[in-house]
Amino acid sequence: MKSIAIAIAACLVGSAALAGPSMSTKWTNTTLPLDRCKSRAEGALRDAKFSGIKVLNYSVFAERGAYSAMVRCATDKQMVFFVVAGPQVERASRYLDSIADGY
């Protein structure tokens, strides 16, 4: 009986791993210039306890444990796009809200 329970648990864990990470997204409008958008994104990620922040041409990336976040400044489209990916959708959504609210 115990070996059956272990086999079922292994299958469930394997299935979840094959499904890949959970992802949560959000966007908002902006009239900020690109440099100011990236600066605010960097601050929002830092305030949400993300680290390893990397600022690129249009995006700011960071990590928090098993979670990765990106803020994309599409200022030419007057839009900011937020995304967080990781193993649990509920936590990814909480982190996303924290970043977007802090932006």
| Per-residue pLDDT reduced to its tens digit, 26-59 | 999 999 999 999 999 999 999 999 999 999 999 9
Q: Rounded to whole angstroms, what are the CA distances from 84 to 5, 8, 9, 66, 96?
A: 33, 30, 27, 10, 6
pLDDT higher than threshold 60 for residue 7 = no
The mean pLDDT of the chain is 87
Percent of the chain at pLDDT > 70 equals 81
Q: Is residue 11 in a domain? A: no
Instruction: List Cβ neighbours of 103 (8 Å cut-off, separation of 6 or more).
Output: 28, 40, 41, 44, 71, 80, 82
Residue 2 has pLDDT above 80, yes or no: no
Residue 95 domain boundaries: 21-102
pLDDT score at 20: 59
**Do residues 84 and 92 make contact, with C-beta atoms less than 8 angstroms apart?**
yes
More confident residue, 52 or 16: 52
Establish if 2 belongs to a structural domain.
no
Answer yes or no: is 12 within a domain: no
Per-residue confidence (pLDDT) for residue 21, from 0 to 100: 85
Number of independent structural domains in the chain: 1
